[in-house]
Amino acid sequence: MDAAALRLLLSRDGLALLDEVSATLDDLGGAVQAVQSLRRRGHDPALVAAVLTQARLRRRGAAKFGPFAASMLFTEAGLEQATRLRVAAVHAGRMRDAGVASVADLGCGIGGDAMAIAATGCTVRAVDADEVTAAVAGFNLAPLPEATVVHGRAEDADLRDVDAIWADPARRDATGRRLPVEAWSPSLPWLLSLADERPMGVKLGPAIDHEHLPADGEAQWVTVDGETVEAVAWTGSLARPGVRTSAIVLDDAGAHELAGSPDEDAVDVRALGAWLHEPAGAVIRARLIGAVAAEIDAGLVSERIAYLTTDADVVSPFTQRFRVVATMPLDERAIQRELRARGIGTLEVKKRGADVDPDRLRRRLRLAGDGAATLLATRVDGRHRAILAERA
For 187-245, the pLDDT digits (tens) are 999 999 999 899 999 999 999 999 999 989 999 999 999 999 999 999 999 999 999 99
pLDDT value for 343 = 96
Burial 323-335 (b: 16+ CB within 10 A, else e): ebbeeeebeeeeb
Residue 32 sits at φ, ψ, to 5 deg, of -65, -45
Domain ranges of the chain: 3-74, 80-260, 275-391
Identify the bridge partners of residue 170 per DSSP, sorted by sequence position. Answer: 185
Would you say 260 and 244 are in contact if contact means Cβ atoms under 8 Å apart? yes
pTM, whole model, 2 decimals?
A: 0.91
pLDDT value for 171 = 92
Beta strands 164-167 and 102-106 are: parallel
Helix (H, G, I), strand (E, B) or coil at 101: coil
pLDDT value for 175 = 83
State how far the Cα of 270 lies from the Cα of 298, in Å rounded to an integer: 8
Q: Which CATH architecture has domain 80-260?
A: 3-Layer(aba) Sandwich (3.40)
Helix (H, G, I), strand (E, B) or coil at 42: coil
Would you say 379 and 386 are in contact if contact means Cβ atoms under 8 Å apart? no
State how far the Cα of 103 lies from the Cα of 95, in Å rounded to an integer: 9
pLDDT value for 139 = 97
pLDDT value for 20 = 84
What residues of the chain score a pLDDT lower than 70? 26-36
